[in-house]
Structure 1
C-alpha cells in the first residue's frame, strides 16, 4: 500500500464505525459486542446499533431487543437492521447480490445520519448459505466503511488449531483488504492462555486479545428457558429468572429418593400434579441440609393444585421460579437440553460477569485510541456512569458495607465483584450472611466477611475510639461496646486504614451512618462543614445539586463552603463546574434576608476561590435557560449553562431534586457526602441495587482522590 493510500485510510478512521463478526459459528461474539457497546456509550455520544441481516419470522431479533432495553437508543426497530434472511436468500438465489448490499447500505446510512457512532453486529452463521459466511460479513463491513473486529471461537480447540484459525482469518482479511480494529480469540481454556500469548508475541498489524472461557456464561438461566420453551411463570421475579441452571433432573421417583438425587443448581422437571415433589423442593430449599435448586418446571399443561398454589403464594417472594409447559415430561427434557445460554436484558448478574471478563482481557484504552472516534465533550448519563466505573477499576479500592445481611447490598456486592470494580468487606454475623448468600444463589465466595462481635480487631478499634473521644468522657468499656455496632466498626476500619471507604444506609438511618464519621473521621483541611450533593442524571446531561440532604439552614459562610466543595466534587467527576447560587431573585433585583444571605455567600466564595465560575443570586430558570439568562444576566459565564446548583436551604434543595427526579424521570445518584477526611456515603432506605452499585463506585473514586491505601 502506498503512503498516500495509507494516509487516506488513516484520515477516514475519523468517520468509521465498528463491525463485530464471528469468524466461525459459536464465537461468543455477543459478550464482545456488549463490552464494546458499554465502552462506546461512555465516549461516543449517540450510539446506533445495526445488524445487516436478521432471521425471518414474526419474532424480533434478540440482540436488537437487548440493545434497545439496555441502552434505549430511541431508534425504531426497523431502522436497526438491513433486511431479513428470507429476503436475502431470495436475492442471492436470483443472483441479485449487489442489490442485497445496496439495501443494507441504504438502511445503514439512514441510521448513521442520526447517530454519532454505529456499532454493527454481523450475521449468526445459523444457515449454510453463502450469504451467512465470513466473506459476506467482510464485504458488508467494507461497503459500510467500518473497522472490523472478528471473533475467533477458542473453545474446544488446542493452541495449534487456534493458530490455524487465526492464519486463515488473516488470509481472508487480506483478501478483502479489511481494516481491522482488533481480533478477539474468545473462550480459551485458562491453561492455554500463556502459551498462546507467547506464540502470538511477534508484531502484528492489529492487536490480538485472548478472552478466557467462563463456564457460568455457557450455562442457561431460568429466563433463557422461559424464552426458549415459551414457559408460563407460576411464581418467580427477575432475580429468580436470572439463576443459572447447572443441570436438568427429571423427578419421577418418590420423595426420599428425590432428595438424595437433587444437586445444587438443578432445574427439576416433573409433572404438574406431583405436589409431593413441589412441596419437597420448597422444604429442601429452606433446609441447610439440602442443596439449593434453580427452579421447578412443571410439565403436561398442569398447574399446581389450588391448595399448593395458595401455599406458594403465601410464602411472599418465591425462593425460586416455578414454571409450566404444555409438553410431556420426556419431550420437555429433550427440548430443554438444547436451550442455549444467551444474554438477557434483565439478567444483571450475567451481564456483569460478561463485562468484567471482557474488560479485564481487552486493553480498552488501546481499542478506543484505534477507533479514533470523534469524542463528544458533553457529559451524558451513560458517559458519566461508564466513566465512573472505568476510573474505579483503574485503581481498585477497598469498600466496607456494614449492612451485610441486606439482600440489596448482597446483590450489589455480587455485581461489583463480577465487574472487578472494588474489593468488598461485608459486616455482620458470618453464618447468617453466608446463609443469605446461599439462599439467593449469589456468587460471593471470595468476599471478606467480618463479624464485629467476634473480630480480633475489636479491641484495637475500641482503643483508637477511646483515645479520640476520651476528652468527651468516653471510657474504654463504652468504646468496646460501641465497636459491636457495624457503623462504628466500619468507620474505624476506614480511620485506621483497613478500608478506603464505607457505604451504608439501605437499612440504617442517615444519623446511624454518618454520626461515627463526624466523631472520628471529621472534616478535611479547608472544609468547615460536611455537606452533600446529588448527581442528577437527566436525559442528555448530568448536573450537580447541593446541599439536598445534610444541612437544614446553612449560614452564608457555610453556603460558600458548600459551593466550593460542590464545585470540587463536580470537577472530581469530570463535570466542568459552573456554579449557580440559587435564590428567589436574580441579580440585584430582590431584597430580603434570604437573598442577602446568598449574596454574602457569593462574595465569600469568590474571595476564597476567584478561579471558579460562580455567580448569584439567580433563579433556577436563569441558571438553566439561555434565553432567560440573556434577559436577566446578559454576558454571564454561568447563567443559562450552569452545571452546579447550590440551594439556599435544605427545604428548597430536597424538594427540588425530588421534583426534578419525578417529573423528568431523572436518576438521582446520592447523596454523596463531601468535606470528610475519608469517604463515607449514605444510601436512601428506598435505594435500589443500581443505586448501591453507583454509590460504591463514587465512594471508590473519592477514596482514590484521598490517596490512602490499604
Structure 2
C-alpha cells in the first residue's frame, strides 16, 4: 500500500476538499482508496469536516482522529514518539490490513495562527507514515515569486534525505482569466524543485463562486437570525448581498435584485420590501430578505406582500443595524457545513475533474518492492509492541529491584507487552515502586531468590557436570540473580531474559554461553542495535560482543544481523564497513572486510551486500552514487556491519548521544534461547523495548524461525 500525505503550504488553501477530491480522482482510476485524518483539526467535539464528508459522501470509513488536546499534551511533554505510534496504529486501522486499500490518503493539519507547531508536525507525520507528499497551495493574493518560495520551502521540509518523498502539488483558487502558461513559466524560473520536475503539477483549481455560495440557512445560523419565513432557506444559496442604501429604481437599474441575492434592509424601507416581493413573484429566485435593526414592515405592507413573504422566499430578522450586519456577513465561515452534502458533493466532483493523476498513477500502481521499503521508527515501535503483546511471553528480569527495571516491568504489565518476572525481595520491589510514585500491579510477578535458589542447584550441576561443577559451587554461583534467571530460562520456566541495567555485558552473556549455548548452525554469539533514526530504523552490528572478529566471524555476524533485520520487518541491505570504499584502500583491515563480503555473498546469495564501504557511502545516496555507482547497497544500506567492537560501540554511542537517537538493544543473536543485554545507561523506554524484542525472539525460537 502507498500513502499520500496531503499538506498545506499556508493557511486557507482548501486542504480538506483537495484531500477528498484527490481520493475521488484516484477512485475513478480503479484504485481502492482509504482516508485518514491523523490528528483532529480543532478542539471542537464535533467530527472533523474531512472525516465527516469522507464517511457521508465518499463511503469511506476513516477512524476517529486523535484529539487535538491529547496531541498537544504529548508534544508539550516531549512524547512525540508515543504520538507517532498512535498515528501508525490509526493508519493500520484506516488501511484495513492486507488486501485492503491500494492507497491511503492522509490529510495533515491546516496551518493557522494558533498551531505554530503544525508545519513541523505535518513533516513528522509524513515521515512516520512512509508517505509521499502532495502539497496544496493557493493562488489567491500571492505573487508568483512568493508562491515559488513557498513551494520551495515546503519541498525542503518534506523531502527525504535520499531526495524522495514529493508526489506533486495542487494550486487552488485560481482567479478567472489567469494567464496560467505565464504563471507556470515564471514559477519554473524561480524554483529549482519545479524546474527540475521533482514536484509535478497535479492540478489548478479555479475559483468558483457557485461552489462557495452558502445556503440562506447557513447565513441565518451565522447571524443568529430569527427566521420569520423559512421558505427554501435550506436550498437557496447566497451569491451576492444587497445592502440597501440607494433608491429602488437605482437598485433595479443596477440589476441588484438578481438570482441568489440576499436583500439586507431595515424593515421600514417598505419600498425595498415591496421591490423584493415583486422580484420574487416575477420569478427571480432571491436568496432571501433580511430585516435589520430588529424591525419589520408596517402591517399594511406585510398584508400587501403576503403572497411573497409567506411563500418559498426566506425571510429573516436580526437585531444589528445594516452596517454591522454586513460586517458580520463578511466573516461568514467559508467551510462547508456538515449538513450541506449537496455543496460538498459538487465541490469534490469539481476538484476531481481538474486533477491530473497521471504523475501519480505509475507510483501508486507499482507494488513497492520489499528491498525499497524503509521502516520508520514509529512503525517499528508500533509493530514491536503489537507483536510482543501477541507473543504474551514470560520474561525474567534478574535486576528485579533496580528502579528503572521496576518501572519498565510495571509499564509492560499495564500495556500487556509481556509477563515480566522480577527476581528480588517483594518488599524491596514495593519500596522501590512507591519511591517512584508507582504501585506494583497484581499481574506483576515477583520471585524472591532466597525462596527458590536451592531448587536450581541440582539442575545446574547436571548441566555443568562435564565441567566438574559441584553442588556447593552451583549454590554459590546461583547467588548471582543473572545466573538464577538463566537457569529458569534453561529449564523453560521463562521464555527469555533481560539484564544489564547494573551488570556488565560479560555478567549477562557468560551464564548464557555456559547454560543456554549457541543455536544450531551458529558458531558465535553477536549483537545488534536497532537505531531509530528520524526517517527509518537501521541495524548496527556487532557493537557489544565480539572485540575483533576475523573474516569468517564477520561474515557470520552479517548474516545473523541481516536475518534479524528481516525478522523485525526491516528489508536487509547489508553494508560491510571500512575506512575505504571498493578498491580505494589497502591493508589487513580492508582485506578482512573484502573477504567477509565474499563469504556472505557465497553463503547467502539472496542478501544484497557490498563492501568495503565507508559509512557515508553506505548511508548517503549522493555519496554512494559517486563512490560506488554500481553497488546494490551504497546509499541505501539498512544493516551496517562494523569491522570491530571498538568502531561499532563508539559509533552507536556517538550517534545515540549526539543525534538524540533511540538505540534499542543490544539484542543478542546466535543463542538457543533469547538473552538480551542492556546498556548500563539504559532508559526505561530502552528496557521496555528490549523486553518486547526478547518476547518476539522467543516466538521465533519457538517456531524455528
Q: What's the TM-score, normalizing by structure 2?
A: 0.53
Which residue of 2 is the match for residue 469 of structure 1?
464
Partner Cα distance (2:343, 2:597) in 1: 57
Partner Cα distance (1:388, 1:66) in 2: 26
Q: CA deviation at 1:398?
A: 1.1
Q: CA deviation at 1:447?
A: 0.7
Retained in 2: the 8 A contact 1:41–1:386? Answer: no
Gaps of 5+ in 1: 80-87, 100-130, 147-372
Partner Cα distance (1:67, 1:698) in 2: 28
CA offset digits 1:449-493 (Å, max 9, x no partner): 1011112xx344222211121222210121123223210111111
Partner Cα distance (1:446, 1:62) in 2: 43
Match for residue 526 of structure 2 among 515, 522, 531: 531
The reply on whether 1:679 has 2:699 as its aligned counterpart is no
Partner Cα distance (2:689, 2:219) in 1: 46
Which residue of 2 is the match for residue 421 of structure 1?
417
The reply on whether 1:438 has 2:434 as its aligned counterpart is yes
Q: Cα distance 1:625–1:429, how it changes in 2: closer, same or farther (>3 A)? A: same
Partner Cα distance (1:461, 1:637) in 2: 51
SS in 2 for 1:454: helix
The reply on whether 1:546 has 2:566 as its aligned counterpart is no
479-488 vs 500-509, which moves further: 479-488
CA offset digits 1:587-626 (Å, max 9, x no partner): 2232211111111212222222222111211211221223
Partner Cα distance (1:28, 1:579) in 2: 38
Q: CA deviation at 1:528?
A: 0.9
Match for residue 624 of structure 2 among 611, 620, 629: 629
438-447 vs 137-146, which moves further: 137-146
SS in 2 for 1:580: strand
Partner Cα distance (2:438, 2:120) in 1: 23
Please list, as runs of the form range in 1=range in 2, the aligned pairs for 1:167-206 lying within 5 A after superposition.
none
Q: Cα distance 1:38–1:614, how it changes in 2: closer, same or farther (>3 A)? A: closer
The reply on whether 1:690 has 2:685 as its aligned counterpart is yes
SS in 2 for 1:707: helix
Please list, as runs of the form range in 1=range in 2, the aligned pairs for 1:560-709 lying within 5 A after superposition.
560-707=555-702
The reply on whether 1:380 has 2:376 as its aligned counterpart is yes
Partner Cα distance (1:410, 1:631) in 2: 50
The reply on whether 1:449 has 2:579 as its aligned counterpart is no
Partner Cα distance (1:145, 1:16) in 2: 21
Q: CA deviation at 1:427?
A: 0.7
Q: CA deviation at 1:40?
A: 3.6
Partner Cα distance (1:685, 1:481) in 2: 25
Partner Cα distance (2:402, 2:343) in 1: 52
Partner Cα distance (1:703, 1:574) in 2: 16
Partner Cα distance (1:422, 1:13) in 2: 35
Gaps of 5+ in 2: 1-23, 48-63, 72-82, 96-103, 134-153, 155-217, 226-232, 239-331, 348-367
Q: CA deviation at 1:639?
A: 1.4
Partner Cα distance (2:703, 2:682) in 1: 28
CA offset digits 1:193-214 (Å, max 9, x no partner): xxxxxxxxxxxxxxxxxxxxxx
Q: What's the TM-score, normalizing by structure 1?
A: 0.53
Retained in 2: the 8 A contact 1:42–1:385? Answer: no
Q: CA deviation at 1:543?
A: 0.9
Retained in 2: the 8 A contact 1:579–1:646? Answer: yes
CA offset digits 1:396-421 (Å, max 9, x no partner): 11111111112211211222122111
Number of aligned residue pairs: 433
Which residue of 2 is the match for residue 92 of structure 1?
222
Q: CA deviation at 1:438?
A: 3.4
Q: CA deviation at 1:69?
A: 13
SS in 2 for 1:503: strand
Partner Cα distance (2:342, 2:535) in 1: 30
Q: Cα distance 1:633–1:400, how it changes in 2: closer, same or farther (>3 A)? A: same
Q: CA deviation at 1:704?
A: 1.1
Q: Cα distance 1:19–1:598, how it changes in 2: closer, same or farther (>3 A)? A: closer
Partner Cα distance (1:641, 1:689) in 2: 31
Partner Cα distance (1:461, 1:662) in 2: 41
Match for residue 477 of structure 2 among 467, 473, 482: 482
Retained in 1: the 8 A contact 2:373–2:571? Answer: no
The reply on whether 1:394 has 2:390 as its aligned counterpart is yes
Q: Cα distance 1:703–1:593, how it changes in 2: closer, same or farther (>3 A)? A: same
Q: Cα distance 1:601–1:639, how it changes in 2: closer, same or farther (>3 A)? A: same
27-36 vs 413-422, which moves further: 27-36
Partner Cα distance (1:511, 1:141) in 2: 70
The reply on whether 1:37 has 2:37 as its aligned counterpart is no
Please list, as runs of the form range in 1=range in 2, the aligned pairs for 1:209-248 lying within 5 A after superposition.
none
Bigger CA radius of gyration = 2
The reply on whether 1:518 has 2:568 as its aligned counterpart is no
SS in 2 for 1:378: coil
Retained in 1: the 8 A contact 2:396–2:421? Answer: yes
Which residue of 1 is the match for residue 17 of structure 2?
none
Partner Cα distance (2:388, 2:66) in 1: 26
Partner Cα distance (2:116, 2:646) in 1: 46
Retained in 1: the 8 A contact 2:38–2:106? Answer: no
Which residue of 2 is the match for residue 13 of structure 1?
33
Partner Cα distance (2:66, 2:614) in 1: 51
